[in-house]
Amino acid sequence: MRFLVLAFLALSALLAPGTSFAEGRTGLAVEVVARGLTAPLYVTAPPNDARLFVVEQNGRVLIIEDGRVRERPFLDVSARLRFGGERGLLSLAFHPNYARNGYFFVNYSEKVNGATRVERYRVSQDTGRADPASAQLILRVEQPYSNHNGGHILFGPDGMLYIAMGDGGSGGDPKGNGQNRASLLGALLRIDVDHGLPYAIPPDNPFTGDAGARPEIWAWGLRNPWRIAFDGAAGLLYVADVGQDEWEEITIVRASAGGLNHGWNLMEGNHCFAEDDCDPATLTLPAYEYDHDEGCSITGGPVYRGTAIAALAGHYLFSDYCTGFLRSLSYRQGRVVEIHEWAVGDIGNVTSFGEDSAGELYITNSDGEVLKLVPAP
Q: How far apart are CA 210 and CA 97, in angstroms?
A: 32
> Could you tell me the sign of the dihedral formed by the alpha carbons of 26, 28, 34, 37, in that order?
negative
Report the run of H or E that residue 340 belongs to, with start and end.
strand 335-342
Q: How far apart are CA 272 and CA 279, in angstroms?
A: 8
Residue environment code for 344-375, b if the CB has 16+ CB neighbours within 10 A, otherwise e: beebbbbbbbbbbeeebbbbbbeebbbbbbee
Q: Is there a domain that residue 334 lies in? A: no
Q: Give Cα separations from 213 to 82, 184, 217, 330 (angstroms).
A: 29, 9, 8, 34
Q: Is there a domain that residue 375 lies in? A: no
What pLDDT is stored for residue 21 in this prediction?
A: 66
Q: Is there a domain that residue 323 lies in? A: no
SS3 8: helix
Q: How far apart are CA 340 and CA 19, in angstroms?
A: 11
Q: How far apart are CA 303 and CA 264, in angstroms?
A: 24
The 3-class secondary structure across 143-173, one letter per residue, is CCCCCCCCCCEEECCCCCEEEECCCCCCCCC
Q: How far apart are CA 86 and CA 90, in angstroms?
A: 9
Q: Which domain holds residue 130?
A: 35-300
Residue 173 belongs to a domain with what CATH number?
Answer: 2.120.10.30
Q: How far apart are CA 185 and CA 50, in angstroms?
A: 35
For residue 89, with 0-12 CB atoms within 10 Å meaning exposed, 13-18 middle and 19 or more buried, which class applies?
Answer: buried
**Angle in degrees, CA 130, 163, 97, rounded to 5:** 45
Q: Is there a domain that residue 151 lies in? A: yes
Q: How far apart are CA 116 and CA 204, in angstroms?
A: 25
Residues 6+ apart with CB under 8 A from 333: none
Q: How far apart are CA 266 and CA 272, in angstroms?
A: 6
* Predicted structure pTM score: 0.94
What pLDDT is stored for residue 40 in this prediction?
A: 98
SS3 281: helix
Q: How far apart are CA 171 and CA 311, in angstroms?
A: 39
Q: How far apart are CA 310 and CA 248, in angstroms?
A: 28
Q: Is there a domain that residue 339 lies in? A: no
Q: How far apart are CA 106 and CA 86, in angstroms?
A: 16
Q: Phi then psi for 116, rounded to 5 degrees?
A: -75, 130
Instruction: Answer whether 61's CB lies under 8 Å from 90's CB.
Output: no
Q: How far apart are CA 212 and CA 217, in angstroms?
A: 12
How many other CB atoms are found less than 10 A from the CB of residue 326? 24
**Angle in degrees, CA 64, 297, 1, rounded to 5:** 70
SS3 92: strand
What pLDDT is stored for residue 13 in this prediction?
A: 40
Q: Which amino acid is at 268?
A: E
Q: Is there a domain that residue 30 lies in? A: no
pLDDT in tens, the chain (377 residues): 333 333 333 444 456 656 776 667 778 999 999 999 999 999 999 999 999 999 999 999 999 999 999 999 999 999 999 999 999 999 999 999 999 999 999 999 999 999 999 999 999 999 999 999 999 999 999 999 999 999 999 999 999 999 999 999 999 999 999 999 999 999 999 999 999 999 999 999 999 999 999 999 999 999 999 999 999 999 999 999 999 999 999 999 999 999 999 999 999 999 999 877 789 999 999 999 999 999 999 999 999 999 999 999 999 999 999 999 999 999 999 999 999 999 999 999 999 999 999 999 999 999 999 999 999 98
Q: Is there a domain that residue 356 lies in? A: no
267-270: long-range contacts (C-beta < 8 A, 24 or more apart)? Answer: 268/223, 268/243, 268/244, 269/243
What pLDDT is stored for residue 15 in this prediction?
A: 63
Q: Is there a domain that residue 369 lies in? A: no
Domain count, the chain: 1
